A and B are shown apart, each in its own frame.
Chain A
Amino acid sequence: MVTAAELKKLKIDAVEEVHRVREKLAGYSSERIRDLAKKAEGEIERLRRSHTEQT
């Protein structure tokens, strides 16, 4: 039998990792978030092009 307190200690690593980043981003301005998102979109495009060239 697992208690509620023990259950709280069962962390999902995927969520924990997101929360580490999320704490950091909480202090960023909306403009900085948009800038990061644009950089991410640029990287996604670069990865797509490199995948297309390889295949």
Chain B
Amino acid sequence: MKSSGVPRLYVETSVINGVFSRDARIRIVSSVFFERVRAGEIEGHVSPYVLAEVYETTDVVKRDGLLRLAGLCVADAPSGAEVEDVGRKYVERGMTPGRYVFDAYHIASASLGRFEALVTWNYEHILRDKTEKLLRIVNKELGIHVPELRSPEVYVW
């Protein structure tokens, strides 16, 4: 879904952390991504799950940097019982591991918030064929929107 041609994206926490990555590719792409958010070329949205994760960062100096980046996004992605019920369904279906139930909450929030895509660096549990296929199946069964699962690289070139 787009408004005025600007991509409306759910920004998962790893993209915010990516700006401080030791890996130059992750750091550069994440930084350019947020420059595009700052310039209004991308509409970034975050949920209370993202904000809670950022707030729990133990390094206080880094946390302030992460919060500044999160503050460039609109904090309006859904949370609560409905999101968490959908998230638990994803885990039950083996879409994401139960140990990291928040992976599932992020995807559920992006689905129920009807975002064009969820952007993340998490190739292990989110940016993978299995998750994408199951997301299409489960969301179709539930009658809810299917967001794309994308790396931020898609939005910086």
By a beta-carbon cutoff of 8 Å, the part of chain A in contact with chain B is 8, 12-15, 17-19, 21-26, 28, 30, 33-34, 36-37, 39-41, 43-44, 47-48, 51
Contact = CB atoms under 8 A, between A and B. Distances in A.
Contact of B122 (A15, A24, A37): A15
Contact of B26 (A14, A19, A47): A14
A18 B124 CA distance: 12
Contacts of B81: 30
B21 A21 contact: no
Nearest to B75: A41
A6 B30 CA distance: 25
Contacts of A43: 55, 64, 67
Interface stretch (B1-9, B32-40, B94-102, B139-147): B94-102
Nearest to B54: A40
Interface string B12-31: 01110110111100100010
- Chain B, interface size: which category? 35 or more
B123 A37 contact: no
Contact of A36 (B22, B52, B68, B100): B52
B30 to A, nearest CB: 7
Given A13-B23, A14-B26, A47-B71, A33 B100 contact: no
Interface string B41-82: 000000111011111110000001001101100010001110
